[in-house]
Amino acid sequence: MRWYTSDHHFGHFNIIGYSNRPFISTAEMDQTMVERWNDVVGDADEVWILGDLVMGKRKRGLGKYVAKLKGRKIFVPGNHDRCWQGHKGFKTKRVDFYEIGLIHEIIDNPEAHTVAGRRVLLSHFPYRQGLTYQEKFAEWRPIDTGDWLLHGHVHASWQQQGQQINVGVDAWNFAPVSEDSIAAMIQAGAAEVPCLKHVLAHKT
C-alpha cells in the first residue's frame, strides 16, 4: 500500500496555535501523530512525505518520533526543512534525516505518479495562482497544466481545491492518506472540499 502525507511540524509548538491543532503540548501532538501513522501504515508500506516534517530540535524530533514511523519513508522536503533545496547547504543536513530519522530516500523533484489512471504530480507546494500573482515561494510552486497535484503547505486551508489534493495532516486528522482514498477523489472529479473536522486527538 502507498500513502501520502505532509506538514507534521514535529517539535513545533507554535503550529498548534497557527493551525488550531487540538493539543496542549508538542509532546502530545508528536506522539499522537506517530500513533495515527502507525495505526494505518504497515512495515511493508510506502509513505511519501511532502515536506515540513521536523522543526525545533531536529535531531531529537527525528530520533524520538520520525524513526518510529512505520513503512518505507520517501521524503520530498518543504520550505521549513533544513534539507530543502531552497536552503543554503541543504545537502549537508540530509545525513540526519537518513541516519537518525531512518528516511529511506530524499527526492527534491519527484516524478509524477499514476493514480486511478491519471497523471498526478507531487510537490510540497500547491499550484502557482497566476503568472502575475505575488505569492511566497512562487518560484518553487508548480504551474497548473491540467494534471492532478498532491501537495501540502496550506495546512487547514482545504482538503481539495479543484484538482489539488492537500495531503497535510491538518486536513486528514493527523494521519497519512491512502492511495485508495486519493484515487476515489480523483475518480469523483475536481471539487471544493473543506478539511475534516478534528476529532478527539487522544486514542481511546
Print burial letters for 74-88: b (CB count within 10 Å at least 16), e (below 16).
Answer: bbbbbebbbbbeeee
* Tens digit of each residue's pLDDT (9 = 90 or more) over 66-116: 999 999 999 999 998 888 888 887 888 889 999 999 999 999 999 999 999
3-state secondary structure of 145: coil
- Would you write out the chain's pLDDT as a tens digit for each of its 204 residues? 999 999 999 999 999 999 999 999 999 999 999 999 999 999 999 999 999 999 878 888 999 999 999 999 999 999 988 888 888 878 888 899 999 999 999 999 999 999 999 999 999 999 977 544 446 777 778 888 899 999 999 988 889 999 999 999 999 999 999 999 999 999 999 999 988 776 544 443
Rg (the chain; Cα; Å) = 16
pTM, whole model, 2 decimals? 0.91
Hunting for cell 472540499 — which residue is that? 193
Distance CA 39, CA 50 (A): 20
